[in-house]
Structure 1
Amino acid sequence: MESLTQSFEKVDQQTSEELTPWLNAREEATRSLVANGWQRLYSGLTPHRASVTLLDPSESLQISLQIPVDADGEAQGDWDLWIEACQRQLSLPLRTWLEEQGIERSTLRRLSGTERNELEEPLDLKAMLQVAHWLQGPIETIEKLAKANSSQLVLHLAGLGPNS
């Protein structure tokens, strides 16, 4: 795990301590994904934002969470959660993990490129909506944390299809 922490001259020890709750919220928000093999690409902390980016085990999807904070340790707006496709189809490790979560095999085969016919689709926005539904548990956890901190979660989806 690589952690990137930017510090500014105006950020002193007291301010860092005030940001600790946001670091804890960031870790709690991503705990279930990390426990299921998602790799932390980087974590960042500035006086204005705590962020983390994770990559699924198959490198098909990337999730980035940005939690806005100010130097006083207060939330300043919406939490942003980005789910982005990194490949045109779901690859085997991610497909296997989703099968274990109870997702239909026929849908997963179509989105993973294992069916070589006209039903094969890239990970466009329609497919990314399905992926977001499958990630409902981790998304609900993040949303609860945002609400507990008087914020709301904004979900952003980015596919690789022509309309994404």
Structure 2
Amino acid sequence: MDALLHSSGQAGQQASEGLVPWLNAREEATQSLVNHGWQRLYSALTPHRASVTLLDPSESLQISLQIPIDDGEGLGGDWDLWIEACNRQLSVPLRLWLEEQGVERMALCRLSGIGEQSMAQPLDLKAMLQVARWLQDPIETIEAIAKAHSSQLVLHLAGLGPNS
């Protein structure tokens, strides 16, 4: 009986150690966003995936990353990155942050609902494609980490418009 309990404990420890690379990958993938003020809403770990969800400082956008955990049957599961709109327009703090990153001011004003109300547009799929372009550097970083783990990154966009 003691031998059975001992071997069971070793198996649990080995399984926990096997998760460390995936947890490290999750942290590395989200570090650039966290460094720019994105708030970690939650991190989760299940037998099948490690995930994290972040909210931008102005609460206009939410990003969720889901990384499949290798169960010993091979590498290469797709990493899913979701970029979702939380408000109908980009808020002023997010607009200012993107402006500091070099994003063109008129496009940001239009999506922020600043100026003429007729120019304000919801964050529909077309706008979310533009947002994804603005977030190109963090997305490329996450994609490189996925490739280093023999995986590919699948980008999902969700806006608030009627066709999103």
Superposed pair shares fold, TM > 0.5? yes
Instruction: Report SS of the residue matched to 1:43.
Output: strand
Distance in 2 (CA, whole Å) between partners of 1:38 and 1:23 is: 19
How many Å apart are 1:86 and its aligned residue?
Answer: 0.2
Please show how residues 134-153 of structure 1 align to structure 2 within 5 Å: 134-153=134-153
TM-score (norm: length of structure 2): 0.90
5+ residue gaps, structure 1, are 1-10
Q: Which moved more, 1:11-20 or 1:28-37?
A: 11-20
1 CA distance for matches of 2:82 and 2:20? Answer: 23
* Partner SS state of residue 160, structure 2: coil
Question: For 1:73 and 1:136, how far apart are their aligned partners in 2?
Answer: 32
| Letter in structure 2 aligned against 1:157 | L
User: Counterparts of 1:88 and 1:24 in 2: how far apart (Å)?
Assistant: 34
Does the Cα contact within 8 Å between 1:65 and 1:82 map onto a contact in 2? Answer: yes
Partner of 1:108: 108
Deviations 1:69-123 (A, max 9, x none): 1344964510000000000000011011000001111111100011233222100
In structure 2, runs of 5+ residues without a counterpart are 1-10
CA contact (8 A) 1:19 1:73 kept: no
Q: How far, CA to CA, are the matches of 1:134 and 1:85 in structure 2? A: 14
Q: Secondary structure in 2 aligned to 1:90?
A: coil
Is this contact kept in 2: 1:82–1:155, CA < 8 A?
Answer: yes
* Offset at residue 16 of structure 1 (A): 1.0
Q: What SS does the corresponding residue of 2:117 show, helix, strand or coil?
A: coil
Larger radius of gyration: 2
CA contact (8 A) 2:44 2:50 kept: yes
Count residues in correspondence: 154
In the TM superposition, residue 12 of structure 1 has moved relative to its aligned partner by: 1.6
The alignment's TM-score, normalised by the length of structure 1, stands at 0.90
Q: Secondary structure at the match of 1:128?
A: helix
> Which has the larger helix fraction?
2
Q: Is residue 80 from structure 1 mapped to residue 93 from structure 2 by the alignment?
A: no
Give the counterpart letter for 2:39 in structure 1. Answer: Q
Give the root-mean-square deviation of aligned CA atoms.
1.5
For 2:47 and 2:73, how far apart are their aligned partners in 1? 8
Cα distance in 2, alignment partners of residues 60 and 108 from structure 1: 13
* Residue of structure 2 in register with 1:29 after alignment: 29
Cα separation, 2, equivalents of 1:135 and 1:73: 33
Shift, 1:46, TM fit? 1.5
8 Å CA contact retained: 1:25, 1:145? yes
CA contact under 8 A between 2:81 and 2:156: conserved in structure 1? Answer: yes
Q: Would the aligned equivalents of 1:15 and 1:71 in 2 still touch at CA under 8 Å? A: no
Contact 2:76 2:152 (C-alpha < 8 Å) held by counterparts: no
Residue 44 (structure 1) aligns with = 44
